[in-house]
């Protein structure tokens, strides 16, 4: 599937020429000189022209609006890719109205029920902009809710898998590791790995009320080791100060099976919430991508119509088409289109200082025919 397409329109102005005859010439030239370039008709309906002033005013907004609609389309596509990756789902081909994206573009049919052709062009464009803007706003809210749950899970995971200096210790400590009585208490000391011998030889001397040989190795990571130490409750504060002076950190910890079970249940609920929200958001994105892409193609049809009238004049008489030339064939295809345009002043159109016409089509290059690029990925 191609990911980059040109939507172009050619004038039908030669004596006796029709859109069908220009289409036949285009097909013939492409097949003879650039056979590897897919070519399709792009069916633009007879829209309501209005006044020249209204077309000129609309053309000023068309390029900027196209950037917005295209941008929302790509945002949703990226969100879909992220959600599929997060769920371990293999990315599938996106569809628009039940058909592949490229098929919808190359077989485009105007939706008269959604966008009546007799409506003013400004109204059609305004409807598309408001629909797409609403979808973008909805996506921001839905994505924020999903990302909030992901952030909560990430914070919990960091606590459970980070350094011993900061991580949650409840899943490392067993009931038998802790001694709690009226007078005795067990503390958890975080000892740098290279200082374990120092700890074992000195912890008993940090206070006279430390229970001899009470320290036990529980766990260690790449930086620290976790030790227990039992002492009288009345000297806890003094012990912490003396330990800190020697480079040992005493973590505040209270063993609670109920709290540990609550944390486990909270984690499970967050995981379930995350998966449910991921699935829901993914389905919404599939439907919204279809909606936005369809709106975008209708917008492109309006753009072709307006720019063709402003370029070729009234009454509307032009052929619109979609091409997907390989990079190596682009120059040749441009030459074919220019030749079919039949504009004797084509050198003028290539002038680098022709800013006015370049701005109309929104392309950095200037051509004697309407042309703009669609990137569907």
Predicted TM-score of the model (pTM):
0.78
* Euclidean distance between CA atoms 140 and 142, whole angstroms: 6
Q: Are residues 184 and 302 in the same domain?
A: no
Sign for the CA dihedral angle at 355, 361, 362, 364 comes to negative
**Contact residues for 190 (Cβ-Cβ < 8 A; gap 6+):** 164, 165, 224, 225, 226, 248, 249, 250, 251
Q: Are residues 233 and 196 in the same domain?
A: yes
SS3 state of residue 208: coil
Q: Is residue 198 assigned to a domain?
A: yes
% residues pLDDT > 70 (the chain): 94
Domain at 328, CATH number = 3.30.70.120
% residues pLDDT > 90 (the chain): 69
Strand order in the sheet with 370-375: 39-41, 318-323, 4-11, 370-375
Q: Are residues 225 and 303 in the same domain?
A: no
* pLDDT, mean over the chain: 89
What pLDDT score does 365 carry?
A: 63
pLDDT tens-digit series, residues 236-278: 999 999 999 999 999 988 877 777 778 788 888 989 999 999 9
Mean pLDDT of 209-218: 95
Mean pLDDT of 327-345: 85
- Domain span at residue 5 reads 1-43+316-349+361-376
pLDDT band at 157 (very low <50, low <70, confident <90, very high): confident
Q: What is the total count of domains within the chain? A: 3
Strand order in the sheet with 216-220: 216-220, 224-232, 184-192, 249-251
What pLDDT score does 354 carry?
A: 40
Q: Are residues 154 and 270 in the same domain?
A: yes
């Amino acid at each position: 599937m191609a990911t980059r397409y040109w939507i172009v329109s050619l004038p039908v102005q030669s004596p006796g020429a029709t859109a069908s005859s220009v289409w036949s010439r285009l097909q013939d030239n492409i097949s003879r000189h650039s056979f590897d370039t897919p070519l399709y008709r792009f069916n633009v309906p007879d829209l309501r022209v209005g006044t020249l002033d209204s077309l000129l005013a609309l053309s000023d907004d068309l390029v900027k609006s196209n950037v917005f609609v295209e941008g929302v389309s790509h945002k949703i596509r990226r969100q879909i890719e992220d959600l599929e990756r997060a769920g371990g789902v293999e990315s599938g081909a996106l569809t628009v109205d039940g058909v592949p994206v490229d098929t919808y573009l190359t077989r485009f049919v105007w939706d008269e029920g959604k966008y009546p052709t007799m409506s003013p062009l400004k109204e059609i464009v305004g409807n598309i902009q408001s629909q797409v803007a609403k979808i973008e706003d909805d996506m921001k809210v839905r994505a924020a809710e999903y990302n909030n749950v992901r952030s909560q899970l990430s914070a919990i995971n960091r606590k459970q898998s980070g350094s011993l200096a900061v991580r949650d210790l409840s899943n490392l400590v067993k009931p038998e590791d802790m001694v709690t009585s009226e007078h005795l208490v067990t503390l958890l000391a975080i000892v740098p790995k290279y200082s374990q011998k120092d700890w074992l030889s000195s912890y008993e001397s940090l206070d006279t009320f430390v229970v001899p040989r009470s320290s036990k190795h529980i766990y260690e990571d790449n930086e620290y080791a976790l030790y227990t130490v039992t002492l009288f409750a009345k000297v806890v504060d003094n012990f912490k100060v003396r330990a800190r002076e020697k480079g040992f950190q005493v973590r505040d910890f209270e063993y609670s099976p109920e709290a540990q079970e609550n944390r486990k249940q909270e984690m499970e609920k967050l995981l379930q919430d995350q998966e449910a929200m991921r699935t829901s958001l993914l389905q919404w994105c599939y439907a919204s991508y279809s909606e936005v892409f369809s709106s975008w193609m209708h917008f492109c049809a309006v753009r072709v119509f307006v720019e063709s009238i402003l370029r070729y004049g009234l009454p509307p008489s032009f052929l619109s088409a979609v091409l997907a030339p390989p990079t190596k064939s682009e120059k040749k295809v441009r030459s074919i289109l220019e030749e079919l345009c039949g504009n004797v002043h084509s050198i003028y159109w290539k002038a680098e200082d022709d800013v006015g016409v370049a701005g109309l089509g929104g392309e950095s290059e200037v051509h004697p025919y309407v042309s703009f690029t669609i990137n569907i990925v």
